[in-house]
Amino acid sequence: MDTGTHVVMGIALGALATVDPVVAGSSQAAIGIMTATIIGSQIPDIDTVLKLKNNADYIRNHRGITHSLPMLAIWPLLISSILYLIFPAATFIHLLLWTFIAVGLHIFVDIFNAYGTQAIRPFKETWVAFGFINTFDWFIFGSHVVAIAVWLLGSPAVPTFVTLYIILALYYVARFVTQRMIKHAVQNLIPDSEEIIIASTIHFFQWRVAVTTKDHYYVGRAFKRNISIYEKFDRLPVPDNEIIRSAKKDKNLAAFISFSKVYNWRIEEKLDGTYVTFTDLRYRSNGHYPFVAVVKLDDDLKIISSYTGWIFSTEKLYKKLAPVSI
């Protein structure tokens, strides 16, 4: 989920923690636990700082080890040890318990969007991603805000937040069922499909659709159960030639391939070099596919520059690929 949603989830847990006698009996303990749940709800996303380094490391590692099973123990122990020095009235065991719940909830809810996490690492480095909840979901965020507001106005914590979690559980079930219904509709429309990706969008009734068959890729949208296929691409294997082999040495392209499940490719020879472009077909927006990896090679097929990330204009791409002046 996005940062804002994780923040309100942390506040909701901190509010629910006030039913704990230790927390309810001390303002210092209450502040300490609230601090712990907010930090615990954010800490797995600390790897976002990798974006300051480069997109390749960010794509390869975001929601990786920081969302893994060992971190379910490491993050709570680390946070609780520090906060106990500041808020001893909260007691270490209570800080540890509520931080563990906050961290666990963060990792758990992140597996339901299209990006997913490596939640079962170190047993497997597979990305777990169900795709039926958008990274930012208005209903999830808004329902937390409403529940927190009701609690601040004097409503008891237990009925307020238990009701919230029951409603959200039903919401998750409804989104899952809707996704399954759309998948069945796509299977009926494209019977020879080998892989179907149905991912939610910020709009409640709209879903992204990407389908792989033996010979083609299909890209479309679903509105409720109505499927619209916008484009059909030939599924061409990536050639094993000298140009591609040279381009694959680039870390940006390697990161893209490790992340993208459905993509096409092209090689373009221009006056200033050879461009190898890989385009992710899952993120069609207004007729454009903004998530790409591009490698620019010279006449000797040495890498001049490269980029992977979101590009919405040719001008921006050229700026990203421009060599750095020294």
184 in a structural domain: yes
Query: Looking at the structure, do residues 124 and 218 belong to the same domain, yes or no?
Result: no
Q: How confident is the model at residue 326 (pLDDT cuts 50, 70, 90)?
A: very low
Question: Is it the case that residue 317 has pLDDT exceeding 80?
Answer: no
273 in a structural domain: yes
pLDDT in tens, 35-54: 999 999 999 999 888 887 88
Per the structure, how many domains does the chain have?
3
**51-47-8 Cα angle (round to 5):** 105
Q: How confident is the model at residue 231 (pLDDT cuts 50, 70, 90)?
A: very high
Domain finish residue from 110, 135, 160: 135
Query: Looking at the structure, do residues 214 and 89 belong to the same domain, yes or no?
Result: no
pLDDT in tens, 80-106: 999 999 999 999 999 999 999 999 999
Q: In angstroms, rounded to a whole number, what is the distance separating the alpha carbons of residues 157 and 163?
A: 10
Q: Residue 309's domain spans which residues?
A: 240-319
Structure tokens at 107: 């990792």
Q: How confident is the model at residue 14 (pLDDT cuts 50, 70, 90)?
A: very high
Question: Is it the case that residue 324 has pLDDT exceeding 80?
Answer: no
22 in a structural domain: yes
309 in a structural domain: yes
Query: Looking at the structure, do residues 187 and 283 belong to the same domain, yes or no?
Result: no
Average per-residue pLDDT for the chain: 92
Domain finish residue from 181, 207, 232: 232
Query: Looking at the structure, do residues 131 and 24 belong to the same domain, yes or no?
Result: yes
Query: Looking at the structure, do residues 227 and 253 belong to the same domain, yes or no?
Result: no
Query: Looking at the structure, do residues 123 and 91 belong to the same domain, yes or no?
Result: yes
Domain finish residue from 73, 107, 135: 135
Query: Looking at the structure, do residues 186 and 252 belong to the same domain, yes or no?
Result: no
What pLDDT sits at residue 323?
A: 60
